[in-house]
Amino acid sequence: MTLVRIPSVKQVYECRAEETILAGMVRLGGKAIFVGCQNGGCGVCKIRVVSGEWRLSAPMSRAWVSIAEERDGEALACRVVPRSDMEIEVLGSLMKSPARIWDSSQSGFAPS
């Protein structure tokens, strides 16, 4: 069991062994990190690791995290498995999610 701290929202929670940061938060009902596909494809769960050891559960899409960003500690929370207690910053935004793109031609009503 490892602890994940998110100082900007004053949250600390526990991740189980082999659980990603995002899965641990979702299991506990947290909302500090945006939740999208939970499979590395949408980028809304982007974080910066401030401290702690971690590994990737699977490769990250370079559409959301470049090699340079990864070197700076940026990652997708749905791919990060803690190996020690960690401190992170939330970087993701729902504005990046394809689900947020409005296509009024596909709907019977338009935004006001």
From 34-42, 50-58, 65-73, 81-89, give the range in contact with ligand FES by CB under 6 A.
34-42
Question: Residue written as tokens 């470049």?
Answer: 66
From 7-15, 37-45, 48-56, 80-88, give the range in contact with ligand FES by CB under 6 A.
37-45
Comparing CB distances to ligand FES, the nearer of 6 and 35 is 35
82 binds ligand FES per the rule CB under 6 A: no
The sign one gets for the Cα dihedral 110, 106, 61, 33 is positive
How many C-beta neighbours within 10 Å does residue 5 have?
15
78 binds ligand FES per the rule CB under 6 A: yes
Comparing CB distances to ligand FES, the nearer of 40 and 52 is 40
Distance of CA 80 to the CA centre of its chain: 8
The H or E element spanning position 86 is strand 86-90
CB of 76 to ligand FES, least distance (A): 5
Do residues 86 and 21 lie in contact, with contact meaning Cβ atoms separated by under 8 Å? yes
47 binds ligand FES per the rule CB under 6 A: no
